[in-house]
Structure 1
Amino acid sequence: MRAIVTDGEESVWEETRERPEPGPGEALVKIRAVGICGSDVGLIHGEGPPWTRYPLVPGHEVCAEVAELGDGVDELSVGDRVSLHGFIYCGTCRACREGRYYQCDELKEVGFTVDGGYREYAALPVETLRPLEDDITDLEATQIDSAACTLHAMQRVETSYTDTAAVLGPGSLGLFGVQLLKAKGVEDVVLTGTREERLAVGERYGATRTINVREEDPVEALREHTDGRGVDLCVEAAGAGDVVNTCLKATKKRGSVVLTGVFDGKREIDPNDIVAKELEVVGGVTAAHAVEDVAALFRRGDLSVDGVVTHEFDLAEYEDALDTVMERRDGVIKAVLRP
């Protein structure tokens, strides 16, 4: 089978490998589609978790089809379509026992520490695979994990239909953030970013205002939008630039800030913005406990990948696909590989 591999030193290459055999408790799946996540690009540049072991096959935004079952597997059937929620955890450490399996002391994660979906076949633990309903498409399935990352973080704060919310960053996480806020009943959602075509997608999904931060100061614009009060909730989904400070300064007294982006380094903030306004600031970087909700939202039409997944490539075109994502060519937001 074909597999795409990186060494974390900016090199990516294709290998021919033997098709894996499923062990006890595993299923062999044929990859149908796999999204290219920004974290995959980070892996290529050596920016994965500290426990990452290279060389590695990236890819965690997976839709697949069960091809063979290992011993002891009766939760799935050959031919089932599945999505991936790729945490492999011990189940006995304190974090696992408290329900925080994504913070397991012995955590492994498909596409980060275990070979992921940039290949034709994979043998994966059955607990990482979610059977898909017929009315969830392959492309939607690849984005269940991505959208659930945003929802998991948002679930850590309270929202109200009377809130004014800001989403910073019109990539896939931010565009799902707009849709999720609307699904929660939040009517006034402002989206900020630097690319007009992405902001336009946010408008299609119900953003009441968009702010191009190259043309307007986002803090001033958000304060003006709220008559000087500041937004009730700020969802950071960019992981770049000065967005943390923008959140802290644009959020009202006793408002909430949700950080979901993964940054490439440290950022400097003024902690008095948090202390003086008594802000609630939370982080979230996992899809844990939100996967089923996101699947339900896709099924009832409250979430969509239309305009979010913009490009599809054959796996053999991985170089062009990665270049398109890294260079942000041709209006790409989310690209998907098709093995």
Structure 2
Amino acid sequence: MRAIVTDGKENVWEEQRPRPSPSNGEVLIKIRAVGICGSDIGLIHGEGPPWTNYPLVPGHEVCAEVVELGDDVDSLSVGDRVALHGFIYCSTCTACREGRYYQCDDLKEIGFTLDGGYREYATVPAYTLNPVPESLSDSEVTQVDSAACTLHALQRVQTSFTDTAAVLGPGSLGLFGVQLLAAQGVENIILTGTRDERLTVGETYGANLTVNVRETDPVTRIKEYTNGAGVDICVEAAGGGDVLNTCLEVATQQGDVVLTGVFDDRKAIDPNDIVAKELTVIGGVTAAHATDQVMELFQRGDLSVDGIVTHEFSLEEYERALETVLNREDGVIKAILRP
């Protein structure tokens, strides 16, 4: 089978590997589609989390089909189409016992510490797979992880239809954030970013105001729009630039700041806004416990990948696909590979 591998030193290559066989409790899956996440690009450039193991097959946004069951697997059937939720955990540490398996003391993560979905076949523990409804497209299934990451973070704060919310960053996380806020009844949503075509997609999903930060200072514009009050909820979904301080500046008194982007380096912040305005700042970067809800939202039409999944490539076109995403060519927002 084909597998795309990186060493974290900006080198990416194709290998021919034997097709694996499932062990006890495992399932052999055929990858149908895999999203190219910004974190995959970071892995290639050596910017992955400290627990990353190289050489590595990237890819955690996986839609697959079950082709063989290992012993003692009764939760899935051959032919099932599945979404990957790639945390492998011990089940016995304090975090696991409390249901926070994504913070396991011995956590392994497919696509980061273990080979991911940039290949034709993979064996994974059965519990990392969720069967998906027939009505969901492969493209939607690849985005269950991204949308669920944002939902998991938003579930840690309370929202109201009277709230004003800002989403900073119109990539897939941010665009799902706009949709999720709208689905929760938030009627006043601001979206900021650097690319007009992405901001336009956000408008179609419910953003009332969009701000191109290359043309307009976002803090000034958001303060003007809210008559100086600021926003009740600020969702950071960019992972770059000065978005942290922007969040703290535009949040209203006792507002919520939700951090979902993954940063590639340390950021300096001014903590006075947190103290003086008594802000609540939370993080969330996992799809934990939210995948089933996201699939239901896709089925109901409250979530969509239209305008978000913009490009598809075959696995052998991986070089062109990665360059397209890295350089943000041809209006790409999210690209998927089709092994």
Counterpart of 2:211?
A: 211
Q: Which residue of 1 aligns with 2:106?
A: 106
Amino acid at match of 2:123: A
Write the distance in 2 (CA, Å) between the matches of 1:240 and 1:51: 21
The Cα of 1:215 is off from its aligned counterpart by: 1.0
Superposed, 1:278-297 pairs within 5 Å as: 278-297=278-297
Residue 230 (str. 1) matches residue 230 (str. 2): yes
Partner of 2:66: 66
Residue of structure 2 in register with 1:93 after alignment = 93
Q: Secondary structure at the match of 1:238?
A: coil
What is the CA–CA distance in structure 1 between the aligned matches of 2:8 and 2:148, rounded to whole Å? 26
Structure 2 partner of 1:272? 272
Structure 2 unmatched ranges of 5 or more: none
Deviation of the 1:49 alpha carbon: 2.0
Q: Let me know the Cα RMSD of the aligned residues.
A: 0.6
Q: Which residue of 2 aligns with 1:189?
A: 189
SS at match of 1:122: strand
Deviates more, 1:43-52 or 1:240-249: 43-52
| TM-score w.r.t. length of structure 1 | 0.99
Tell me the equivalent position of 1:256.
Answer: 256
Deviations 1:149-190 (A, max 9, x none): 111111111111100000000000000000000000001001
Name the residue aligned to 1:150. 150
- 1:10-41 CA-partner distances (Å, limit 9, x unpaired): 10000000000011101100000000000001
Deviations 1:254-274 (A, max 9, x none): 001001111111111111110
Please give the residue correspondences for 1:1-339 in structure 2 after superposition, counting only pairs within 5 Å. Answer: 1-339=1-339
Task: Find the residue that maps to 1:248 and give its secondary structure.
Answer: helix
Letter in 2 for 1:134: E
Once residues 323 and 267 of structure 2 are traced to their aligned partners in structure 1, the CA distance between those partners, rounded to angstroms, is 27
Aligned residues: 339
Q: What's the offset of the Cα at 1:48? A: 1.6
- The 3-state SS of whatever aligns with 1:235 is strand
- CA–CA distance in structure 2, aligned partners of residues 122 and 290 of structure 1: 24
Identical positions, percent: 74
1:157 counterpart SS class: coil
Deviation per CA, 1:282-324: give whole Å up to 9, x if none.
0111111111111110011000000000000000000000000
Give 1:119 shift.
Answer: 0.2
Structure 1: tracts of 5 or more residues without a match = none
C-alpha distance in structure 2 between counterparts of 1:100 and 1:78, whole Å:
29
In 2, the alpha carbon distance for the partners of 1:91 and 1:161 equals 38
**AA partner of residue 89 (structure 2):** Y
CA distance in structure 2 between the aligned counterparts of 1:266 and 1:110, rounded to whole angstroms:
25
Letter in 2 for 1:317: E
**Distance in 1 (alpha carbons) for counterparts of 2:33 and 2:315:** 9
Q: How far, CA to CA, are the matches of 1:214 and 1:229 in structure 2? A: 23
Distance 1:75 1:148 in 2: 22
Quick one: which amino acid aligns to residue 108 of structure 1? K
**Cα deviations by residue, 1:115-170 (Å, 9 ceiling, x for unpaired):** 00000000110000001111111100000001011111111111111000000000
Q: Counterpart amino acid of 1:70?
A: G
Rounded to whole Å, the distance in 1 between the matches of 2:275 and 2:25 is 49
